[in-house]
Amino acid sequence: MYYTDDSILPENMAPLIITAAPYGPQWLPGDADIPVTWDEQVQAAVDCYNAGATMLHVHVRDPATGHGSVDFDQYNYFIGRLKQAVPKMILQVGGSISFSPKTAEAKAKWLDYDTRHMLTELDPKPDCVTVAVGTTQWDVVTMFTPDDIKGTHLDNNPKVQAAWAGMWVDAGPAFYLEHLKRLRRHRIQPYFVPAHVHQLELIERLIRAGVYMGPLNLAIAGYGGGTLGRNPFDWMEMVRRVPQGSVATFWSSMRGLISLSAMAIVLGQHVRVGNEDNLWGPDKKHRTSVQQVEGAVRICKEFGRQVATAEEARAIMKIGVWYDSIEETLHNLGLPPNRKDGQAGFLVWETEGRKAVAKTAGDSHPMAYCMISPETVEA
C-alpha cells in the first residue's frame, strides 16, 4: 500500500472492520469462553456483532462430541442459523476443515482434497472462506509465553504442546488451484491468509495468471513458528507489499495481538480478535471474545477512526463482487498491468498522455508543472 500525507489521518481511513473469532477450536471450556451447544455458538456471534464486529470467523463445534465438526450437514445447519441470527454479518468460514464422508457413496466419491473442496458447496453459502496459498509450518506454541497458557489445558502439558507445535497447513498448488476455481464457480470469495511476503507473491502470480479475479481481502498471519512473528518491521513490510486496493487485517496471537491491533488501527488496516487468537487483556487477565471486540472499538474511538457498520464492511470488502478479466482485477487492486511482449521499463497503466496541473501550493517541486509555460498575465 502507498501512503500519502493524509492517509494516516483517521477521518481519511476506511472504517475499521473487526473480525470476531469466538469459537477457539484449540481450547476447552475451562480455558476460555468456549460456546458448545448450538444456541451458545449462535449467541457468540450475536454478542460479537452487537459489540461491533462485522465479520465472523466461523468454526463449527459438534455439540455432541465437543470436537471441531467434520460434518458437512452440521456446517450447513450452523451457517443457516447464523444467517438468521446475524443476517448482516460477513460470514468467513475457516478453510482448514476436511469433511468426513458419511456414506459409502461419498467415501468412494470424495478423493484426496475433495474433503476440503466441499467447503465450496456449503448451503447456505458463506460470504467467504479462508484460503491458504503455500504450505506453511504453523507452530502456534512457539510464540507462547508461560503466562499465555497459564491455567489452560496446555499448561504443564508438554505432550499436548508438542502436538500443537507440530501443526502445519497443507496448501500446495494441487490444492489451491482447484479450490479457487470451485470457489469462483460457487461465488464464494476467498479470504487469503498470507503468512509472509512470499505467499503474497504467490497470490499476486495467481492474479496475474487469471486464476483469481476478484477483490483481494486478506489477513496477514503472524502466529510465529513458520508464519510472520511480531517484528513490527516485518508487518510494515507486509503493509508495504499488499496491493493498494486490497483490504488487509492484522491477525496474530495472545497479547501480541493487542499491540498489533493498535498498530493496525492507526495504520488504517483492520483487526481480528477473539478467543481463537487471544485469551488475555494487556493486564494478563482473561478477556472474552466480546471484551476483545469492545477493546478494539475503544482504541478506534480514542484514535478518532470510525468502526464499520455491516453495510460499510461489505462495501469495503466488495463482498459479492467478481471481475471478468486479469486487467480489471489488476486495475481494481491498484497493481501495475501485466507486461506485454517486448515492453520495457517499469509498468504503469496507460493514460491519455496529458500532464496534470500540479497543486499551486506545496513544499515539493512540481517539475512537470514548471515545464508548462505560465499564461501571460496582463498588468
Stretch that binds another protein, among 66-74, 206-214, 271-279, 350-358 (CB under 8 A): 66-74
62-88 per-residue burial string, b: 16 or more CB within 10 A, e: under 16: ebeeeeebbbbebbbebbebbeeebee
Q: State in angstroms the smallest separation of the CB of 266 from another protein.
A: 34
Q: Name residues contacting another protein, limited to 84-143 (CB under 8 A).
A: 96-98, 102
| Residue of 1, 10, 14, 38 interacting with another protein (CB under 8 A) | 38
171 contacts another protein (rule: CB under 8 A) = no
Q: State in angstroms the smallest separation of the CB of 23 from another protein.
A: 11
Question: Grid cell 516485518 — which residue?
Answer: 234
Compute the distance between CA of residue 85 and CA of residue 276 in angstroms, rounded to an integer: 21
Answer yes or no: are the C-beta atoms of 33 and 275 closer than 8 Å.
Answer: yes
Residue 244 has which C-alpha cell? 493498494
Compute the distance between CA of residue 220 and CA of residue 248 in angstroms, rounded to an integer: 7
Q: How many residues bind another protein (CB under 8 A)?
A: 31
Stretch that binds another protein, among 21-29, 179-187, 226-234, 346-354 (CB under 8 A): 21-29
Nearer to another protein, 79 or 271 (CB): 79
Give the single-character DSSP code of 22: -
26 contacts another protein (rule: CB under 8 A) = yes
Q: State in angstroms the smallest separation of the CB of 220 from another protein.
A: 21
**Residue 24 CB contacts under 8 Å (≥ 6 apart), including other chains:** 31, 32, 34, 274, 275, 276
68 contacts another protein (rule: CB under 8 A) = yes
Q: Name residues contacting another protein, limited to 143-162 (CB under 8 A).
A: 153, 160
| Residue of 23, 49, 72, 78 interacting with another protein (CB under 8 A) | 78
Nearer to another protein, 62 or 312 (CB): 62
Which string of DSSP letters, residue by residue, matches 233-290?
HHHHHHHHHS-TT-EEEEEE-TTHHHHHHHHHHHTT-EEEESTTT--B-TTSSB--HH
Residue 174 amino acid letter? A
Stretch that binds another protein, among 57-65, 181-189, 223-231, 303-311 (CB under 8 A): 57-65
Q: Which residues pair with 307 in a beta bridge?
A: 16
Nearer to another protein, 95 or 215 (CB): 95
Where on the chain is the footprint of another protein (CB under 8 A)? 25-30, 36, 38, 62-68, 71, 73-74, 77-78, 81, 96-98, 102, 153, 160, 163-164, 166-167
